[in-house]
Each structure stands twice: as structure tokens, then as C-alpha cells.
Amino acid sequence: MDKFYKISSDEVMEKLSVTQDGLTDTEVKKRQEQYGFNELGEQHRKSTFKVFMEQFKDFLVIILIVAALLSAFLGKFESTIVILVVVMINAILGTVQHVKAEQSLNSLKNLSSPTAKVLRNGEKVEIPSKEIVVGDILYLDAGDYISADGRIIESHSLQVNESSLTGESISVLKSIEPINEDDVSIGDKKNMAFSGSFVTYGRGVLVVTDIGQKTEIGKIANLMESAKEKKTPLQANLDNFGKKLAIAIIIIALIIFVIDIIRGRTLIDSFMFAVALAVAAIPEALSSIVTIVLAFGTQKMAKENAIIRKLHAVESLGSISVICSDKTGTLTQNKMTVQQVFLDNKVKDQDQLELNNPFQKYFLEMQLLCNDATTTNEKEIGDPTEIALVNYAEDSYNMDEAEIRKKYPRLKEVPFDSDRKLMSTVNKVDGKSKLHTKGALDVLLDRVVKMETSEGIIDFTNEHRKQIEEVNHSFSENGLRVLAFAYKEVSEASQISTEDEHDLIFIGLTAMMDPPREESKGAVERCIAAGIKPVMITGDHKITASAIAKQIGIFKEGDKAVEGYELEKISDEELKNMVEDISVYARVSPEHKIRIVRAWQEKGNIVAMTGDGVNDGPALKQADIGIAMGITGTEVAKDASSMVLTDDNFSTIVKAVANGRSIYANIKNSIRFLLAGNTAGILSVLYATIGALPVPFAPVHLLFINLLTDSLPAIAIGLEPHNKHVMEEKPRDVTTPLLNKVFASRLVVEGSLIAVATMIAFHIGLTTDALTASTMAFATLCLARLFHGFNARSRQSIFKVGLFSNLYLIAAVIIGVVLLQLVLLVEPLQGVFEVASLTAEQFGYVYGLALMPLVLIQLYKLIFVK
């Protein structure tokens, strides 16, 4: 193996045949063909055939197959064929559902797959991490996940957390110096970085030496079982419930089996009936309905800019009662423009500086020097705050960023981080090394000892401090974001670190506007109407933050705004007691975010928290729903989150909550539909058994109904369009389970109504003969269950939610009715399905009775449900 850490970075580049311009497209293609993609292990997906075969593993399906064989053995080939057809159609439907759900979940995964910044053909481009090849030059910034192993060729205070490999949680400072030793452990390879670790500070560049399975993490990844997609709590709950219900139904089926035998039915008939009853009554579709509804629901959410990374998040979305949101970029546009400056003891409009004043010119140059952003006509790259500064110097004063940066070359930099709230660079200015620092005024002022104006350098007095603070206050009250600038001369540029940001000479302030997003105000209103408390958490100044929060309705009369340092002075208990009154947190660091989330959670709330920075990971994980920013967020933040916003927009969160609520309601409705129908079937059979009446259904009837109602209509109900009223209700209480008493009593009432209709039809049929009776009972149960789909669409009447707003359900019901009519009317099918020819009058009764539960329930909803 090559020991890249032993040789110089130039030698590494040479060995890997890379130039300063990175690899060319042809070279990349060649390497990809030769060594494959940068992936850990084969992503083995089940083949469709395997999924299909797995449908036959189900206990009920096995019993059905046994029943089919038994029928064949007894010469009842018609039954055998019917049962096998049912089993096949079920298996096909199951496979299609599984594959569809899988496809949409996979496309979701691809949407949130990691990316990397590489140099190719001399240009910096962003590519999916999967496409990295050996020899790629990879750029690393704070918050980036490293997705290949490589040799560091540039390090600017680059620090990397390698805990996933070494277990060590303290970041390692990386350098480019070769290490002339053998047997160096991973943790000591300071000039290499490894896949699976992430950049916590600074920036750097590496050249990729290993990818995929060959990386250090790849070698151990083989030992790790690939994490199976875990079931969501709702699915687990339903599985558990489904099992218990199945046992209860099997017991009922057994009792009926015994009673039937005592009553003198043949063993085989009794067995067939018991099997059919069990198959029809056990709601085997519960968990798969949840998967399908979640899969389609998350796809819709992705189209609306919210990518779900963890499925269980969809369930929690509906219960969110607090949304803690960043300000910059989420509630505001993140499009900043400099409005005013403070220089030479005066507030000036942005275009009032004079380039022939050397001091004022230096102030403008500093905006470009202590700055990593670049702008061209087509593209603006970098932090919006810094882009605003570049645009300011270029647009208002015709300065050229490249020219100034070339004239005063950068010798060293100390990157910005949101804890320190400062950034510094050292530039060569007229033969001297000058440290230029910019950042939050409150942090910078304490490090200032002198002040410069056009008149020269003077001591920094308390009066100066007071004046600047007043100016800052008035800027902030207008919602402006303020940056302070200072500098000093230094001797040893290469040694400069955060420790040197003191004894500075104050120069001036720049105040910029970042207007709220247009949608923010409306989204905040919707949030509040839905019983959700929006909270602003920002690194920005308290007064700026409060001003913006007031504009968009987050900050109301009587609310409190608290700063990070104030939080440090109070205990968790005190914070918990006051948390409901605080709507703005300013100048917070990522650690404060965790405390805020916990305080809300301890008050019984379900909390969503946004984040973008490398240190936001823990708070995002602590929140019930961690939401990362797709555009400005770091890979680390995305990795820790359960949802990613592709447009960084607060209003997208509110939309996602509405979707979450709808999805949950749809799942619930679909399950109620299934269970109410099954209850109706069981009640009818129990009634006939207890009343010593003839058997109301032939086994094929039950299988037919099961096939017709448990598939398409149940899914169609799960796909009910978004109900606009979902955001008028309070958040769902997570402590109330889906299958609660109210839910159970409703479905029993609904099931009973259908059973009553079915039994009336049965009795009417009995006046003719037993076959007519069972035909009428079968047809009524089948139709009533289909029609009940309209009741299950919503808590409200279908006249309120719109008769034609769920075309899927209308289609599913029409298909069901047509198939049933075929069975009832087509002669050969009549034989197979053991039905009598019904008269027009009998058909009238069947349809009238089947519509009865629909009419009654709709009337009830119209009158009593708002």
C-alpha cells in the first residue's frame, strides 16, 4: 500500500497523476470505469421477483393455498381456481405496492444524498460524493462530510472530527507536512483525512487517495450490518395491534368452525368457511397501507421542497407544537444589501464615501480583503453577508475584488465561526502585515483599544464606545444587520490565530438589510392558527432580530427576547419556567439551542428545530424533528436532521406540517375503513351463527370482498387530498394512540350499521331461498363496504370536503361495483361465485340497503360535525 502520509503533497499529486487543475472529464470517466463508484458495499435491492415470492410467505396465504389444495383433492376445482386466482391477484397487488413504495422512497434517498466540492478541468464543481475518484482534488469547509480518504495538500486551521473511526471526539488539527515514520495510526496521520469524518473548523484541500470499500471506513464497514430501514412507531404499533387482532379473529373463526361442525356441516365446508372468514377479517393490509401512504406523501412533500430523511418524522410532523427557526435565510431572504455605514464618527448612506480619502478607501478595501465571497456577472459564491460587502464595494464604488485582493495578498486567515462571531485575515498592505478583523460589534468592541478616522489614530474612549453603541442600536432597531471592522499591524503572519484578535484599531460599521421573505408573515399566521408556537433563534443581534420578528408576527406585545449570555446565567429549571414567554433568542451559540429544545420538550411539546452549521448537529438530533437547510446547510447538519428544506424557507416547514397532519389523518381514515368493513363481516357471520340461520356467505364471497375492498379503495382513502381545515386544529396529542377508544367506538358503530344492512338483505333473501339470501348478503356487504369509503374520507361530510375531490376513490368504487355486477350477472361467473340470479326488485333492495350506512353517516356528519 502506498504510504501517502510519508511523502510531500507534490509527490502525492504526481503519483496519482493529477495536475493543479484537477482531473479532466476523460480521466475521471476512465477511473470510474476502472475502479467503480465511491460507495460502501453493494446497495443490494430486492428483485421484483423476490418481492413477489415473499408475498407467499404470509401465514394467511399459506392457509389459503392449503385450502385450495384441499378443494382440488375433493374435486372442487372451481373453488381451487378461485382461491388461487385470489392469491395471485393479492400477490401481484402486494408486489406492485411494495415496488412503487420502494421506488418513491429510493428517489427520496437520492434527493438527500451527500455532495462534494471538487476541482475538475480547472473549475470548482459540486458533484454527488458517489462520483469522487482517486486523484480528485477535494475542497473541505467547516461542516463538510469527508467522503473519501485523501492526503491534505492545503490546510487553513483545518480541524477534523474523526470519532467515527477513532472514537476520539476532539477534533484533529490537520497539516500538510509529511510524517516520516512507519506504522502511524489513523489518529496520528495528521496530513491525511478519512471518509466518515467531518470538518469542524477551518478549511482545506485534499487529494483523494482511496475511495469506497478501500477507504479506512470501508474496511470496517464490512463488519457493520447495513442498517435496516426501521419501522416507524406507527407501523410498529399497527403490526403489534394487527397480530393481536389476528389471534382474536382466529379464535372466533375456530369457534364458528366448531359450531358449524356441531350443526352438521361437513368438515371441509366448515374448514373452508373458517379460513375464508379469517382471511377476510384479518386486516393484513394495515402496515403496508402506512408504507404506501407515507411513500406517496413524502414524494409530494419533496415536490414542495421538504425532503424527509427519516420516515418517522412524517408522523411527528403532525404533532409539532413548537417550531424553533433560524432567522437568516429561513425567515429572511438572505439577500443582503448594505444600506448605511458608520465611519469618521458619522452615519453615512452607502454611497457617500469618497475614494480620494485614503482612510475611507481603506475601509472599503477591507470589505473585500476580510472576505471569502466572489461575485461575477453570472454567479455569486459565498456567504450572503460577505457577498453583500463585495457587491457594495463593486457596485457603489467600482472597485474590483480581484485587483484589490491581488494588490494586498492574503498571508493568513482565521475563519469565521458562529460561536466566536468574528473573522480575520492577514494581508500584505504597503509592505506591512495587517490583521483585518470583522464581526459582531458586541464581540469586537471589547477587543478595541484605538480608533481611526480620517484625522488619524486616536485612543478609544468610553464616549466613542457609547456613540458607536447608540448608532448600532438605531441600525438594529430598523432591522439592519451590523458588522464591525477593525485592524492592527502584526509581525509574524503565519503564527496568527484567534488569540491575536485583540488590541485592535476600530474603523467603522457596515449596516445591511436582509428583508423578511414575503411568505414568512403568512406562514407565521398559519402556524399560530394551527396551535404551533414559532420561535426565532439567531446568531444575530437582539434588537435586529426582534425588529424582524415583530415585522413577521413572531414577536408579540409582552413577549421576551433573550440573548445567549443571559441563558448562561439561568438554570434549566428557570428556563423551563419562562420558555413559553420567549419568542426571540439572539446571539445564541449552538449549545444554547439544545437547552431551548429540552426546555420545550420538558413542557410536553414536540419541537422542530432548524439548523445549518457544523455545531448544530446535537440540537438537530435532540429536537423531535431536526430540520436542515438544503442550500446553506452543512453536510453535517443535513446528516443529523430528519428533514431537509431544499429552499431553506420557513413557510416550507409550515407546509410540511400540514402535509404531516394530512398524511396521518389519511392513514387513520384508511385503517378505520378497513377495520369497520371487517367488523361488519364478522358481526354478520356471528349473527347468523348465533341465530342458527343458514350460512350468510360462501368462502369465495369473503375472499372476493377482501380482494375488492382491502386494496384499491383503502389506498385511495390514504391518498385523500390535503384538507384545508387540518391547519385549523390543535396539534395532535402524541400521548393519544391512533387506535384509541373514540376511534374504536366509531368503527364499531360504522361496522354495525353495515352489518345491519347486510342482515336485512339476508332476511329478505331468505324469503326466497338460502342461495338468494347469501347472494343478497354478499352483494350488500360488498357494496356497503365500497360505499363506506366515502364516509372514511374525512371526519367531515363529503359535501364539505368536495364530492369529486378524491377521484381515486371514485374510480376504485366504480371498479368494485362493475366487478361485483359481473359476478352477479354473468352466468359462468355466477356458478364460480356461488350466487343466484337476482330479480330487479332484489337488486333494488341490495343497492338501497348498501347505501343506507352512507346516507345515515353523511346525514349525521352534515348535522353534527362542523
Q: Nearer Cβ to ligand ATP, position 143 or 439? A: 439
Stretch that binds ligand ATP, among 5-13, 203-211, 418-426, 784-792 (CB under 6 A): 418-426
Q: Which of 43, 31, 9, 3 is nearest to 211 (CA)?
A: 31
Q: Write down the least CB distance from residue 179 to ligand ATP, Å.
A: 34
- Judge contact between 406 and 390, C-beta under 8 A: no
Q: Tell me, rounded to whole angstroms, the distance of Cα 714 from its chain centroid.
A: 25
Q: Which of 144, 326, 500, 648 is catalytic?
A: 326
Site string for ligand ATP, 369-408 (x = CB under 6 A): --------------x-xx----------------------
Q: How far is the CB of 302 from ligand ATP (least distance, A)?
A: 24
Nearer to ligand ATP, 438 or 526 (CB): 438
* Nearer of residues 438 and 655 to ligand ATP, judged by Cβ: 438
- Rule CB under 6 A: is residue 779 a binding residue for ligand ATP? no
Give yes or no for residue 440 binding ligand ATP (CB under 6 A). Answer: yes
Per CB under 6 A, contacts with ligand ATP among 131-150 are none
3-state secondary structure at position 473: helix
Of residues 158 and 784, the one with the C-beta less far from ligand ATP: 158
Beta strands in 470-532 (DSSP E): 480-490, 504-513
Q: Which residue is nearest to ligand ATP (CB)?
A: 539
With respect to ligand ATP, which residue has the nearer C-beta, 386 or 413? Answer: 386
d(CA 476, CA 547): 7
Q: Which residues contact 73 (CB under 8 A, 6 or more apart)?
A: none
Q: Smallest distance, Å, CB 538 to ligand ATP?
A: 3
Counting other chains too, the contacts that 170-175 makes at CB distance below 8 Å and 24 or more residues apart are 171/200, 171/201, 174/204
Nearer CB in complex with ligand ATP: 509/849: 509
Sign of CA dihedral 860, 862, 863, 865: positive
Coil/strand/helix, residue 48: helix
Find all residues with CB under 8 Å of 613, minimum gap 6, and list them: 142, 143, 418, 590, 634, 637
Residue 279's SS3 state is helix
What residues numbered 660-719 form the site for ligand ATP, per CB under 6 A?
A: none
Residue of 8, 418, 752, 830 that binds ligand ATP (CB under 6 A): 418
How remote is the C-alpha of 784 from its chain's centroid?
A: 39
We find the least distance from the C-beta atom of residue 646 to ligand ATP, in angstroms, to be: 17
Report in angstroms how near the CB of residue 324 gets to ligand ATP at its nearest: 11
Closest Cα partner for 393 from 440, 351, 334?
351
Q: By CB under 6 A, name the one of 483, 597, 675, 676 that touches ligand ATP.
A: 483
Minimum distance between the CB of residue 622 and ligand ATP, rounded to whole angstroms?
A: 17
At closest approach, how far in Å is the CB of 658 from ligand ATP? 24
Contact positions with ligand ATP (CB under 6 A) in 541-580: 541
Q: Which is nearer to ligand ATP, 612 or 710 (CB)?
A: 612
Select from 326-334, 402-410, 683-691, 821-829 the region that touches ligand ATP (CB under 6 A): 326-334
- Shortest distance, CB of residue 526 to ligand ATP, whole angstroms? 21
Q: Please identify, among the stretches 432-440, 618-626, 754-762, 811-819, the one whose residues bind ligand ATP according to the rule CB under 6 A.
A: 432-440
Task: Round to whole Å and give the CA distance between 684 and 678.
Answer: 10
Contacting range for ligand ATP; rule: CB under 6 A; set: 320-328, 335-343, 759-767, 814-822: 320-328
d(CA 181, CA 475): 57
Cell of 179: 510524517
| Shortest distance in whole angstroms from residue 24 CB to ligand ATP | 34
Nearer to ligand ATP, 539 or 553 (CB): 539
Strands of 178-312 (E only): list them: 192-193, 198-210, 306-308
Which residue lies nearer to ligand ATP by CB, 252 or 323? 323
- Does residue number 722 form part of the binding site for ligand ATP (CB under 6 A)? no
Buried b / exposed e over 636-659, threshold 16 CB at 10 Å, is bbbbbbbbbbbbbbbbbbbbbbbb
Binding segment for ligand ATP among 19-27, 199-207, 401-409, 413-421 (CB under 6 A)? 413-421
> Which residue in the set 162, 326, 639, 648 belongs to the binding site for ligand ATP (CB under 6 A)?
326
User: What is the length of the chain?
Assistant: 866
Under DSSP, the state recorded for 394 is I
* CB of 94 or CB of 633, closer to ligand ATP: 633
CA of 107: how far to CAs of 112, 296, 298, 299, 608, in Å?
A: 9, 11, 10, 8, 24
Q: Judged by CB under 6 A, which stretch of 155-163, 438-446, 500-508, 832-840 contacts ligand ATP?
A: 438-446
Sheet holding 643-645, edge to edge: 306-308, 643-645, 625-629, 607-611, 322-326, 533-537, 582-586, 560-563
Q: How many Cα atoms sit within 13 Å of 414 on the Cβ side?
A: 22
- State the cell numbers at 569: 446565567
- The values of phi and psi at residue 589, to 5°, are -105, 165
Kindly state whether residue 421 participates in binding ligand ATP, applying the rule CB under 6 A.
yes
Distances (CA, A) of 666 to 296, 522, 751: 12, 26, 19
Is 305 a residue that touches ligand ATP (CB under 6 A)? no
d(CA 762, CA 439): 82
Mask for 507-546, x = binds ligand ATP (CB under 6 A)? -------------------------------xxxx-----
438 binds ligand ATP per the rule CB under 6 A: yes
Q: Which amino acid would we find at residue 699?
A: P
In the complex, minimum distance from the CB of residue 409 to ligand ATP, in angstroms, rounded to a whole number: 20
In sequence order, the β-bridge partners of residue 480 are: 513
- Interface with ligand ATP (CB under 6 A), residue from 363, 416, 485, 704: 416
361 burial (CB, 10 Å; 0-12 / 13-18 / 19+) is: middle
Q: Which is nearer to ligand ATP, 324 or 527 (CB)?
A: 324
In the set 94, 150, 196, 439, which binds ligand ATP (CB under 6 A)? 439
Query: Which one, 193 or 545, has the nearer CB to ligand ATP?
Result: 545
Tell me which of 174, 189, 327, 436 binds ligand ATP, using CB under 6 A. 327
- Residue closer to ligand ATP (CB basis): 438 or 598: 438
CB of 311 to ligand ATP, least distance (A): 28
The answer to whether 328 contacts ligand ATP (rule: CB under 6 A) is yes
DSSP state of 8: -
Quick one: cell of 61?
Answer: 396465504
With a CB cutoff of 8 Å and minimum separation 6, the contacts of 86 are 64, 703, 704, 706, 707
Question: What's the min distance (Å) between Cβ of 541 and ligand ATP?
Answer: 6
Q: Given the rule CB under 6 A, which of 144-152, 156-164, 205-213, 323-331 is the region that contacts ligand ATP?
A: 323-331
- Of the candidate spans 185-193, 263-271, 321-329, 763-771, the one that interacts with ligand ATP by CB under 6 A turns out to be 321-329
**Is the torsion defined by CA of 224, 225, 231, 233 positive or negative?**
negative
Between CA 614 and CA 617 the distance in angstroms is 6
Q: What does the H/E/C string look like for 330-372?
A: CCECCCCEEEEEEECCEEEECCCCCCCCHHHHHHHHHHHHCCC
Task: Give the nearest distance from C-beta 197 to ligand ATP in angstroms.
Answer: 23
User: Any catalytic annotation for residue 326?
Assistant: yes
With CB under 6 A as the rule, give the number of residues binding ligand ATP. 20
Which residues form the catalytic set? 326
Contacting positions for ligand ATP (CB under 6 A)? 326-328, 383, 385-386, 416, 418, 421-423, 438-440, 481, 483, 538-541
